Every structure is written in C-alpha cells, then in structure tokens.
Amino acid sequence: MSRLDTMTKRISEDLPEFVELVPPTEQSEGLYRRIRHIQKTGECCGFPMSLDELKEIIALAGRESVSKPLFYLCRVLDRFHVERTLKTARNRLRIDKRIGSIAKYVKLEAEWQIKYLSDLISGKYSMDDLMVACEIAQKKRQPDSYLLALFKNGFKNKYRPA
C-alpha cells in the first residue's frame, strides 16, 4: 500500500467530500499531505483550523464557479492566503448558524431559499434585526416568501433605537 493510498484512506474517514472533489493522483499528493496535516494537528501554516472550517473551505472549492478544485485548494491553503481563507470560512460558518435558526423558525425548506437568504443578509443585519423580521414574517400566510421579500426590498427595523 502506497503512502498516497494510506493518506486517502485516513482523509476519507473525516472528509469523504474532499476525496470525491480531488481524486488521489501524483499531482494532488502535496495537497493530500497538507489536508492530512491539518486533519491531524488542527493547524495550517501556524493558524489553528478546525475540521468544520476545513469542511467549509472544501465546500468553497466544490462550488460550480470553481473550475479546478485542486488548484483552488492549493492556492487558498498556501501560507500567503490561509489567514484570509480562514476568515472567510469562519464568517460563512457564523452566517450558516444564523441561517439555520432562521430557516427552522420560518420553515424555509428549499435549498435555494436558504442560499438566497444567506446572500441577502450576509454582513448587513444584526441578529436582533433578523429576529424582528422573523416575528413579522411568522404572522403572514406564507412566512418563508414574506421573509425573503422583506430582505430583498431592504428591511429596516423600526423598533431599533437610532
């Protein structure tokens, strides 16, 4: 059993989506070593990185807009870009937690609605604003559609002191 096979086996235990995204080849061996190091030590280039953050970075590489995930991951996980990449991943994870609670409250079920809402609120609204909007939408006949329309049209919380 070669070194790459062993790394692939160990990485696929925690990160099967990575192995699907970037198949093990000679060209990807360096990236596999980097991912395995992050998985084992919990850090990348001196910056602490959790498994959830690594999964989020892999999800970023799996987007449709990324044509070559191998090169994308090599770029964002190199020592010059890893700090900015971690900042982006942490921000997306924080937004995802907020979106999850909102989606349950207003019963957003479609994946496109959740992504659309995430894009609409990212960095623009406080949790208080989001909860007020959810409470308003909850009183309507179709709360999910109403909530999306609220943020699409630019929600202003009139209850917040100026």
104-123 pLDDT, tens digit each: 777 777 777 777 777 777 76
DSSP H or E run through 111 = helix 111-121
- Dig out the tokens for 114 from the structure: 């959740």
Residue that terminates a domain, selected from 80, 108, 135: 80
Q: What is the pLDDT of residue 159?
A: 65
| Mean predicted lDDT score pLDDT of the chain | 85
Residue 63 forms part of a structural domain: yes
- Dig out the tokens for 100 from the structure: 């999850």
**Chain mean position to CA 9:** 24
Q: What is the pLDDT of residue 49?
A: 93
Q: Is the pLDDT of residue 162 over 60?
A: no
Residue 105 forms part of a structural domain: yes
28 band by pLDDT with thresholds 50, 70 and 90 = very high
Distance of alpha carbon 162 from alpha carbon 152, whole angstroms: 22
98 band by pLDDT with thresholds 50, 70 and 90 = confident
How many structural domains does the chain have? Answer: 2
75 band by pLDDT with thresholds 50, 70 and 90 = very high
Please name the residues in contact with 58: beta carbons below 8 A apart, sequence gap of 6 or more: 15, 17, 18, 21, 73
- Looking at the fold, whether 158 and 123 belong to one and the same domain comes out as yes
Q: Which of 9-13, 30-34, 43-47, 113-117 has the lowest mean pLDDT?
A: 113-117
Residue with tokens 């995802």: 96
Q: What is the pLDDT of residue 48?
A: 94
Residue 151 forms part of a structural domain: yes
Residue 145 forms part of a structural domain: yes
Distance of alpha carbon 140 from alpha carbon 138, whole angstroms: 6
- Looking at the fold, whether 75 and 117 belong to one and the same domain comes out as no
- Looking at the fold, whether 21 and 68 belong to one and the same domain comes out as yes
What is the residue range of 45's domain? 1-80
Tally of CB atoms within 10 A around 30: 11
List residues bridging with 43 in a β-sheet.
48
Residue 89 forms part of a structural domain: no
